A and B are shown apart, each in its own frame.
Chain A
Amino acid sequence: MFDSEVLLPDLHEILGAVPLTLAMALAIFVLSTIVGSLFAMVEYRKIPVLRQLVVAYKVAFKGVPMVIVIFLAYYGLPSTLHALAALAGIDYNGHSTPNWVTLIVALTACVAAFQAEVVKGALNSFDTGQADAAYSLGYKRSQLFRRVMLPQVIVAAIPDLANSFMVIMKALSLGFAIEVVDIFAQSQLTAALNFYYLEAFLVAVVIYMVIAYAVTQIADRTERALRVRT
């Protein structure tokens, strides 16, 4: 039933999908952090109207499973892009959008809602007394943000950001439904060729756990190195 001989060739084949998975995860991580930070800024500054929209967005994307968002994007995004391109007068066929772009857009939309929460939590952890101190020293608003807030907020957010990165890595596994090949999809393809399903999936399990371990280690080290000693 269980054949250990296929483990090594399987490992070799599945490892081939790791760089692409990491690259896609990194792209989604950066994009969703930017969008999430914008959302968090809107809430932090309490901008009317926009704030209510952000809250509605977060509620909508937190209630819906990611698979469904991915399918909605898969069936809705190409025609939307097509219509937008026609509106702007650009000659672009929305239906030729590659699937990995659809996946990145869908996951960015989902994860941005959670990243907003992470950034908001980090902003709230900032002690406002320091802002008063900085203003009394004649800091401008931009200087306060860059010199005082940012270094502390980033450190406070590191554990949650590492967590989000792992969430993105795992969420990419849903891409196999729309034919994007990541670690999980590769393990499925490998298994389909030689019919050793359990073996290929166990290899993928080990790869995911090693990546998770590496991500937490890197996050811990960075946090320790950046934390200002008090």
Chain B
Amino acid sequence: MIPELLSALPLTLAITFTAMVAGFVLALITTALRVRRIPVISQLADLYVSYARSVPVVLQLFVAFYGLPVLVGVFGIEDFVSPTIAAMLGLSLYHGGYLSEVMRPAYLSVERGQHDAADSLGYTFRRKLLRVVAPQALHIALPGYGNAIIYLIHNVALVMYIGAADVMATAHLVMERDYNQYQFETYLVLAVLYSVLCLVAWAIVRFFERRSGKYASNDKTVSAPLMASV
């Protein structure tokens, strides 16, 4: 049973990584729009973030699955949407909105004085952001980022509902083939599998958290308790 489940792991990981990368880019754009306070556009970005945070992920996946073909149809492109693509899009939107709510407080918590000092030294906006603001914000954001990754891994377990052939869907096939005798055991195996994935992600983020300590502007330790996000 376990080799069969592991054979579906690449798809689960592919969806996770796509959502991680696309979500990160989306979160950067959204955060930039929200901190610059451009009328209308900032409000739209706020609305997107509250959509990503207050609507259940299953529902977001279904909206992506049924909404994307409609959206594609409006632009006159042929329907190419498969469950996997819809899952990637839905989770990217979710992760991006969630991550923006991690990045924005981190950006805002860098002191005003740091901006002023960089400006007075003649840094350009880009150099100021990269050399002064980003390293400090990174240190503050890392614990929250680790949580966001764990939530993402948890929510990848939901993509089977729109028909993606991930680990959960494979588990269902295996269970049905065995005449539904070992359901509890199969779910225990899945529980261990997802725990291990979370543990690995947590260990990686923790490693960077330790190293980013040198960017901290004061000795305050930053922590973000792991809540839940479904």
Contact = CB atoms under 8 A, between A and B. Distances in A.
Given A63-B199, A72-B188, A208-B59, A121 B50 contact: no
Contact of B54 (A118, A188, A212): A212
A2 B63 CA distance: 13
Interface of B is mostly: helix
Interface of A is mostly: helix
B228 A68 contact: no
8 contacts: A63-B194, A72-B191, A76-B184, A111-B228, A117-B226, A121-B225, A173-B58, A212-B50
Given A67-B158, A167-B227, A167-B230, A198 B63 contact: yes
Contacts, number: 119
Interface of B: 50-51, 53-59, 62-63, 66-67, 69-70, 73, 150, 153-155, 157-158, 161, 168, 183-184, 187-188, 190-191, 194-195, 198-199, 225-230
Interface of A: 1-2, 60, 62-69, 71-72, 75-76, 110-111, 114, 117-118, 121, 160, 163-164, 166-167, 170-171, 173-174, 176-177, 184, 187-188, 197-198, 201-202, 204-205, 208-209, 211-213
B63 A66 contact: no
A211 B63 CA distance: 18
Given A160-B227, A174-B230, 7 more contacts: A62-B150, A67-B168, A68-B194, A118-B227, A173-B56, A198-B70, A205-B59
A147 to B, nearest CB: 28
A205 B184 contact: no
B87 to A, nearest CB: 14
Contacts of A204: 59
Chain B CB within 10 Å, residue with most, of A1, A64, A111, A205: A64
A209 B59 contact: no
A72 B187 contact: yes
A198 B66 contact: yes
B228 A114 contact: yes
A171 B230 CA distance: 6
A173 B59 contact: yes
Contact of A63 (B69, B158, B198, B230): B198
A64 B194 contact: yes
Given A117-B226, A167-B227, A67 B63 contact: no
Nearest to A170: B56
A168 to B, nearest CB: 9
A157 to B, nearest CB: 12
Chain B CB within 10 Å, residue with most, of A67, A71, A110, A188: A67
A208 B225 contact: no
A166 B58 contact: no
Contact of A208 (B56, B67, B226): B56
